[in-house]
Structure 1
Amino acid sequence: MALSADSGANPDPDAGPAEGTELLPCGRTLQEVWDAWDEDRATGDPHYAACPHCTAALHGLRMLDDFVRTARTADEEERRADGRADGARTADAVTGRVMDIVRRELRPGRSLPLGEPDEEAWIVEAAAARAFRSAVDGLRGVRAGSCRIVPQPAEAVVRVRVEVAADLSRGFPELADAVRDRIVTAARDVVGLEVAAVDVAVVDVLVDGGWERAAADLRGLADAEDER
């Protein structure tokens, strides 16, 4: 999928990235990553296999491509079913959703080290936070929102702060313990991080059918956090 009309490299490698070009922490620009992926050169470059920043960007691009293809097919089918020829409105909707994915997936936050100090293994903060939120959402009557991960001095050790909304089926101490257990287990078994502490903030109590609204509000906060 061509993401830019200008796929040429910077003619002066000593001049630095052009104004407005996003520079990844590894020193490569997002444009370079896009071009390598678009021209099918990424698989032959060992840098992309080892670099956590480029790997995260490539993952986001693949997700973006899959989304665009699916959205285009769905919108075409919807227009045919409704007898509409003008796809401007649905195209705007697709563009908005694409940009949401770009903001979430290509700006993944800091890289967190995994394993022993001499191992070159990393995970981006946004990916780890999504894994933790998913683990918490598996608890009955609980929805996770904002999740912040703070590296500790020891390698592969982090402190986690998570906000949740929950019903009244558990007392708050029991709820906090259940959330901590889910995050610690996901960190160990899924992500590969050791958690030094989990701070749990209960930001809403879900009663009287407030699930859908609270879940949407929390997800909106989490998505906004992933963009930062």
Structure 2
Amino acid sequence: MTKIIHDQVWPGSTLPFGDPTRALWIAERAASAVLRRAADEVPGVTAVSCRLARSDLFTGVRVSMTLAAEMNRSLPETAGLVRRSVADTCRHVLGMVVTDVDITVIEVHHASV
């Protein structure tokens, strides 16, 4: 029972917002949810997981994401669209600089008609 409560309350690691005072932080779980939605906005993509890690002392983050994707375009093109969406959302919504977006496609589906 304690483990269940701990998993629901514990926010995980925290990451700094792009705040010059360095006084604002966000839980990785919350930032990850925002970035998974950004990936899901790319047609034919479903984000399966998303992890963030600090890449510098201030605002830089490295994003590692796993996806399921439809074959409605080449996978490199799909990965590029996801990287762009995630980086833009990270910068404009979360106020963080993305140093890397690593994409792993773990499932491929044929495009729906």
Q: When the two structures are superposed, what TM-score results if normalisation uses the length of structure 2?
A: 0.87
Q: Which has the higher contact order (CA 8 A, sep 6+)?
A: 2
1:176, 1:196 → 2: CA distance? Answer: 16
For the 8 Å contact 2:22–2:58, the answer to whether it is kept is no
**Structure 1: gaps (5+ residues):** 1-19, 21-98, 210-228
The aligned counterpart of 2:90 is 187
Deviation per CA, 1:131-179, whole angstroms, max 9, x where unpaired?
Answer: 0000111111110011110101241101000000011011111011001
Match of 1:43 in 2: none
Correspondence for 1:126 among 29, 36, 44: 29
In our comparison, the structure showing a higher alpha carbon Rg is 1
SS in 2 for 1:191: coil
Residue of structure 1 in register with 2:67 after alignment: 164
The number of residue pairs the alignment matches comes to: 111
Helix, strand or coil at the partner of 2:83: helix
Question: What letter corresponds to residue 7 of structure 2 in structure 1?
Answer: R
1:103 to 1, 4, 7: 7
Identity %: 35
Q: Deviations over 1:56-78 (max 9, x none)?
A: xxxxxxxxxxxxxxxxxxxxxxx
Q: Deviations over 1:26-50 (max 9, x none)?
A: xxxxxxxxxxxxxxxxxxxxxxxxx
**Runs of at least 5 residues in structure 2 that lack an aligned partner in the other structure:** none
* 1:178 aligns to 2:81 (yes or no): yes
Runs of at least 4 residues off by over 6 Å = none
Q: Which has the higher helix share?
A: 1
1:78-157 superposed matches below 5 A: 103-104=7-8, 106-116=9-19, 118-157=21-60
Instruction: Give me the whole-angstrom Cα distance separating, in 2, the residues matched to 1:161 and 1:146.
Output: 8
178, 196, 203: which is aligned to 2:106? 203
State the Cα distance separating 1:115 from its structure 2 match: 2.1
SS at match of 1:166: strand
1:124 to partner: Cα distance: 0.5
Kindly report the root-mean-square deviation, in angstroms, between the aligned alpha carbons of the 2 structures.
2.3
Amino acid at match of 1:167: E
User: What code does the residue aligned with 2:100 have?
Assistant: A
- Where does residue 93 of structure 1 map in the other structure? none
Give the residue type in structure 2 aligned to 1:128.
A
